[in-house]
Amino acid sequence: MTALPVTPPCDALIGGEWVPTQAWIEAESPSRGEAIARIARCQAEEVMVAVDAARRAFAGSVGDWARWTARRRGDWLLEFAATIEADHANLAALECADTGKPMRQAEADIRACARYFRFYGGGADKLHGETIPFDEGFAVMTLREPYGVCAQIIPWNYPAQIFGRCVAAALATGNTVVLKPAEDACLSVLRLAQLAQENGLPPGVLNVVPGLGREAGAALAAHPGIDHLSFTGSPETGTHVAQAAAVHHVPVTLELGGKSPQLVFADADLDAALEGVVRGIVQNAGQTCSAGSRLLLEASCAEAVLGELAERFAALRCAAGEADADCGPLINARQKARLEARLEAALADGVRVLACGRLAEGAPAGGHFVVPQLLGDVPSGHAVLREELFGPVLAVQVFRDEAEALRLANATPFGLCAGVWTRDGGRQLRLAKGIRSGQVFINNYGAGGGIELPFGGVGRSGHGREKGFEGLRSYTRLKTVAIRHG
Ligand code: NAD
């Protein structure tokens, strides 16, 4: 087994206790293909007990969480942010080992996780209802109340960041949580849960039920005792969980996939654009919901840009996360085989690899590496332009004018992000309005992941918003109170 910097408890966290399960899941290092830990494999029974524990903690009989003032909850979140920062090196090393992502990215993810607790800790006592002017003799107000027990099902690509995004917002607003992390990577989540307990979080306020999607995940989504469900993952699973939650009329936030375009016009700062385009697809080996996986290039600059881009792709190196190269491995052998099969099919359809990166010397033989690839000559409407590949693969298309660029940008069922690179102010605004997606970035891509910025999708990319103050509001429900005082 590859040694870990610290070993978090790998059981389920239920009602403040670490509870062992009957069965286990072998956690593997994507960089080496070796086992690194054995984590709990919860079943419906454990999920049931966890939901009960969260209910008791919310109702006040165990942890008094519902009776904590907003200020006290905020203070706890701020203290916890400092704890995460103090444990930064351990958490980053765990995230790097468990997901295979380059160390720099793992470090950035842990900083982002702490920042979520800081941002929402500060926001806890600043979220409030409103008064509404109404008829003579009435006083009308709205109250923002927590839902109660929030179920959160999260993926493996950014475990610590998504833990921060979901858990911090839910706790700040007075909810309790049952979280199902992904079977492929959850060690940082378990360490964070351990630190939260050590930091004095009342028992049952945060429960973690590791396990398989079809077991623990399905049981959680279908549980009649949850009051809210936040799901981050694939569109297919999103459909299943939304259907399961609908049976009990549970509100759902879905953060799903993407096939996001980067539009580069000839008048752009091309150096900055190329930097943003490469980073937008190589980050996390392309396993990012918001990856910029389609490049739309204005014809008049296409040849020059493609030449430069090919050089940049050829210079990219893949290595184990700890080696901190441009690109790490894919998460597991299944994802690698799936991506390779899709690439093979694309080549058979006439798609051409214009350039590709290489494995770095010494990259472990057992790692699930797929080198970054730039694809050209893609037939219009081809699967690589419509389907999420979830790997470091960028497909190029050329457009003649702004209208065609907009048509191509909107030609997928997804709508998560778009990057637009142009100096023309009018065009910036026209495209910001015309592109069908939750986020449009002009002359940047991703705005550094800004925690303050609401984030979410359109169409197959999901619905609801997390991050920013909008994310905080999404963990509350509004109650209207009308007082007739005469
Ligand atoms: P996935 O849907 O397979 O798994 C996500 C989570 O759902 C995991 O915890 C998994 O165990 C659980 N799950 C699987 N089947 C389930 C079921 N039947 N019932 C309940 N839970 C179940 O997705 P993935 O492959 O782990 O993650 C990749 C996907 O996530 C990509 O499509 C990516 O774009 C998306 N993603 C979206 C965002 C966002 O914020 N929009 C962020 C990260 C990832």
What value does the mean pLDDT take over residues 135-146? 97
Q: Residue 14 and residue 426: Cα distance in Å, rounded?
A: 54
- CA of 18 relative to ligand 1 center, distance in Å: 25
Tokens of residue 360, six digits: 């770095």
- With a 6 Å cutoff on the Cβ, whether 373 touches ligand 1 is no
| Confidence grade of residue 475 (pLDDT, cut at 50, 70, 90) | very high
Task: Output the DSSP codes for 76-108.
Answer: HHHHHHHHHHHTHHHHHHHHHHHH---HHHHHH
**What's the pLDDT at 63?**
58
CB atoms within 10 A of CB 56: 18
Q: Is the CB of 217 under 6 A from ligand 1?
A: yes
What are the percentages of helix, strand and coil residues in the chain, rounded to 5? 40, 20, 35
**At 94, is the pLDDT very low, low, confident or very high (cuts 50, 70, 90)?**
very high
pLDDT at 4: 83
Minimum-distance ligand 1 atom for the alpha carbon of 291? 34
Confidence of residue 64 (pLDDT cuts 50, 70, 90): confident
pLDDT at 354: 98
- Reported as a single tens digit per residue, the pLDDT across 73-93 is 999 999 999 999 999 999 999
Residue 420 CB less than 6 A away from ligand 1:
no
Please work out whether the CB of residue 232 comes within 6 Å of at least one atom of ligand 1. Answer: yes
Ligand 1 centroid distance, CA of 358 (Å): 29
Task: Please list, in sequence order, all residues whose beta carbon lies within 8 angstroms of the beta carbon of residue 371, skipping any fewer than 6 positions away.
Answer: 316, 318, 327, 356, 357, 358, 359, 392
Lowest mean pLDDT among 52-61, 112-121, 210-219, 253-262: 52-61
| pLDDT tens profile 309-359 | 999 999 999 999 999 999 999 999 999 999 999 999 999 999 999 999 999
In degrees and rounded to multiples of 5, residue 471 shows phi and psi of -65, -40
Least confident among 65-79, 236-250, 427-441: 65-79
pLDDT digits (tens, 9 = 90+) for 395-436: 999 999 999 999 999 999 999 999 999 999 999 999 999 999
Determine contact, residues 262/295, Cβ cutoff 8 Å: yes
Q: What is the mean pLDDT of the segment spanning 235-258?
A: 98
Q: Which residue has the higher pLDDT, 67 or 344?
A: 344
Specify which residues 177 forms β-bridges with: 150, 206
* Best mutation site among 237, 281, 290 for ligand 1 pocket (most ligand atoms within 8 Å of CB): 237
Mean pLDDT (whole number) for 456-460:
97
Residue bearing the CA closest to ligand 1, atom 8: 182
Percentage of residues in the chain having pLDDT higher than 90: 96
Ligand 1 centre from 236 Cα, in Å?
9
Cβ 320 under 6 angstroms from ligand 1: no
The closest residue, in CA terms, to atom 16 on ligand 1 is 213
Using DSSP, state whether 433 is helix, strand or coil: helix
Tell me how far the alpha carbon of residue 233 lies from the centroid of ligand 1, in angstroms: 2
The finding on whether 331 has its CB within 6 A of some atom of ligand 1 is: no
- Tell me how far the alpha carbon of residue 229 lies from the centroid of ligand 1, in angstroms: 13
Give the lowest-confidence range in 60-74, 356-370, 423-437, 464-478. Answer: 60-74
Looking at residue 59, what is its pLDDT? Answer: 84
Please report the pLDDT score of residue 60 as a whole number: 67
Ligand 1, residues 232, 338, 470: which to mutate, most atoms within 8 A of Cβ?
A: 232
> pLDDT averaged over the chain?
96
Which residue, by CA, sits nearest to atom 39 of ligand 1?
255
Report the nearest-CA residue for atom 13 of ligand 1.
213
Smallest CA-to-CA distance from 100 within 313, 314, 335 is with 335
At 283, the amino acid letter reads Q
Residue 70 pLDDT: 95
Neighbours of 390 (CB within 10 A): 24
Examine the pLDDT at 1 and tell me if it is beyond 60.
no
CA of 153 to the centre of ligand 1 (A): 8
Find out whether the beta carbon of 467 lies less than 6 Å from any atom of ligand 1: no
Say how far apart CA 121 and CA 143 lie, in whole Å.
Answer: 20
**Contact call for residues 257 and 235 (beta carbons, < 8 A):** yes
Angle CA 278–279–281, to nearest 5: 70
- Please give the distance, rounded to the nearest whole angstrom, from the Cα atom of residue 250 to the centre of ligand 1: 19
For residue 158, the ligand 1 atom closest to its alpha carbon is 43
* Rounded CA separation 384/378 (Å): 8
Closest C-alpha to ligand 1, atom 35 = 233
> Which positions are catalytic?
255, 289
377 sits in the region (left: phi over 0; alpha: psi -120 to 50; else beta) called left
């797929």: which residue's tokens? 370
Q: Which residues on neighbouring strands pair with residue 209, listed in sequence order?
A: none
| Sign of the four-CA dihedral 264, 270, 272, 278 | positive
Around 349, how many Cα atoms within 13 Å sit in the side-chain half-sphere? 18
Residue 288: CB atoms within 10 A of its CB come to: 23
CA angle 211, 212, 217 (to 5 degrees): 85
Name the residue among 50, 49, 73 with its Cα closest to residue 146. Answer: 73
If you measure from the C-alpha of residue 85 to the centroid of ligand 1, how many angstroms do you get, rounded to a whole number? 27
Q: By the 8 A CB rule, do 339 and 387 touch?
A: no
* Tokens read off for 67: 């009776």
Are 190 and 10 in contact, with CB atoms under 8 Å apart?
Answer: yes
Residue ranges and CATH numbers for the domains of the chain are 12-256+464-481 (3.40.605.10), 261-451 (3.40.309.10)
Ligand 1 in reach of 155 Cβ (< 6 A): yes
